Amino acid sequence: MNELFVSSATIGVVISLIGYYIGVLLKRKFKYGFLNPLLISIVLVVIFLLVTMTEYQSYYSSAKYLSWLLTPATVSLAIPLYSEFERLKRNIKAIMISIFIGCLTSMGCILIMCLLFKMNHAQYVTMLPKSITTAIGMSVSQELGGNVPITVAVIIVTGIFGNVIGETVFKLFRITDPIAKGLALGTSAHAIGTSKAMEIGEIEGAMSSLSIVTAGILTVVGANIFAMFL
């Protein structure tokens, strides 16, 4: 099986897409928040690799082409933002302050957690970009000396967690404003949270799209500063 993955340029992509499609079908049928298509696809691919005794590197050699789509997919999120540009201009001050505080909170929580658990610098900077999109987070982690594969895993887990519990948190704290919902999901759970925001509404999706870009820029700057604290 390892030889098949290494020799094929598409089998990894096909298996990944099949796993995701099964996740989409399960989400549509049962409509439970924890049945996130990305989470389901990850679980199915892991089970497949374990059953077939396929090494991850062999799988990745034919699935890596999917990662090339991360950057254009992130850029395409500007489309819903354009449709809500007037709303953005009217609330620009509150929006920028909210995203800034969200980024500060994210990196501050990582700093406190790493201090409490006595983690070293490499472990600290690996988790620092947890709330930004993978395309940016990988670069930040690599530049600061973190473990990039673990950073990717942390970013995905953060996004899925935000996607799953987002609506529950909004109901619990009675958050009803669409701008606030979008900013919260985009700033804390990047692109995966944005997919949930788009499910909720157009305004939420647009604000979440803005948050991804802005939070990414702020975290690139902020991570370099926070990296000096540990």
Contact 99, 214 (CB under 8 A): yes
Of residues 117 and 35, more confidently modeled: 117
Query: Which H or E run includes 27?
Result: helix 11-30
**What pLDDT was estimated at residue 6?**
56
The pair of structure tokens assigned to 111 is 């700093």
Residue 109 confidence (pLDDT): 94
* CB of 155 closer than 8 Å to CB of 120: no
Tell me phi and psi for residue 158, to 5 degrees: -60, -45
Nearest partner of 17 among 6, 25, 7, 28, judged by Cα = 25
Residue 55, by phi and psi: left (phi above 0), alpha (psi -120 to 50) or beta? beta
Tell me the pLDDT tens digit for each residue of 51-104.
Answer: 988 888 888 888 888 878 877 776 777 777 777 778 788 888 989 999 999 999
| Predicted pLDDT at 177 | 93
Query: pTM (2 decimals)?
Result: 0.81
- Residue 157: how many CA atoms within 13 Å on its side-chain side? 9
How confident is the model at residue 89, as a pLDDT?
A: 84
Quick: pLDDT tens for 166-210.
989 999 999 999 999 999 999 999 888 888 898 888 889 889 988
Q: What is the mean pLDDT of residues 21-47?
A: 88
Tell me, what's the pLDDT at 140? 93
Instruction: Give pLDDT, residue 158.
Output: 93
Q: How many CB atoms lie within 10 A of CB 219?
A: 27
pLDDT tens readout for residues 144-164: 999 998 999 999 899 999 988
Q: Which residues contact 206 (CB under 8 A, 6 or more apart)?
A: 80, 81, 83, 84, 87, 88, 182
User: Measured between alpha carbons, how far is 164 from 169 in angstroms, rounded to an integer?
Assistant: 10
pLDDT value of position 4:
61
**Least confident span in 32-36, 104-108, 211-215:** 32-36
Amino acid 212: pLDDT? 87
2, 32, 174, 197, 215 from 183: Cα distances, Å: 43, 23, 15, 9, 10
**Domain boundaries defined on the chain:** 2-72, 76-229
Using an 8 Å Cβ cutoff, are 30 and 42 in contact?
no
Residue 228 is classified by DSSP as G
Residues 85/33, Cβ–Cβ less than 8 Å: no
Contact yes or no for 94/105 (Cβ under 8 A) = no
* pLDDT of 38 strictly over 60: yes
Q: Are 216 and 101 in contact (CB under 8 A)?
A: no
